[in-house]
């Protein structure tokens, strides 16, 4: 992601995807867009479930789609857009599970993607490593 227009395009992709969210319980429609080094963008939307623990976050859906398409590494940036939050609510950050799932994909390419979290009025940029310091990864499973 080289400039502001790339950032804006990624946020727009996440915003459009939020329209496809299934969020009858929280009312928060969330879209995610993952940008890869080759220019590919993979999108996802949250899918809620009456059994709340089975809900899928937008970021997890997008990562699963990317992995199912054979993507391993090359993750440069992530945009997460939330619609339906109160007007004075700051942009929503990825939950802990999503941070972990994003880390696993990013680690496959040794990248530290920029994560843009946005709503109708604001966008906040943070590196994934700042959102998930001291991550648990494949190296954590190494045995002697």
125 in Cβ contact with 115 (< 8 Å):
yes
Residue in 59, 76, 120, 139 annotated catalytic: 59
Q: Does 120 participate in catalysis according to the annotation?
A: no
Cα–Cα distance, 59 to 30 (Å, whole number):
9
**Apex 128 CA angle, 55 and 23, nearest 5:** 20
How far apart are alpha carbons 97 and 93 in whole angstroms?
11
Question: Which residues have a catalytic role annotated?
Answer: 59
């Amino acid at each position: 992601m080289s400039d502001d227009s790339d950032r804006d395009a990624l946020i727009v992709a996440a915003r459009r995807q939020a329209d496809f969210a299934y969020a009858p319980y929280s009312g928060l429609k969330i879209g995610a867009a993952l940008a890869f080094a080759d220019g590919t963008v993979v999108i996802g939307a949250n899918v809620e479930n009456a059994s709340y623990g089975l809900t899928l976050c937008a970021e997890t859906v997008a990562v699963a789609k990317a992995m199912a398409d054979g993507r391993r590494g090359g993750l440069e940036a992530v945009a997460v857009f939330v619609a339906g939050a109160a007007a004075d609510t700051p942009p929503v950050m990825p939950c802990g599970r999503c941070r972990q799932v994003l880390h696993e994909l990013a680690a496959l390419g040794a990248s530290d993607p920029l994560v843009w979290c946005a709503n109708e009025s604001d966008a906040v940029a943070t590196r994934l490593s700042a959102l998930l310091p001291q991550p648990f990864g494949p190296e954590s499973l190494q045995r002697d």
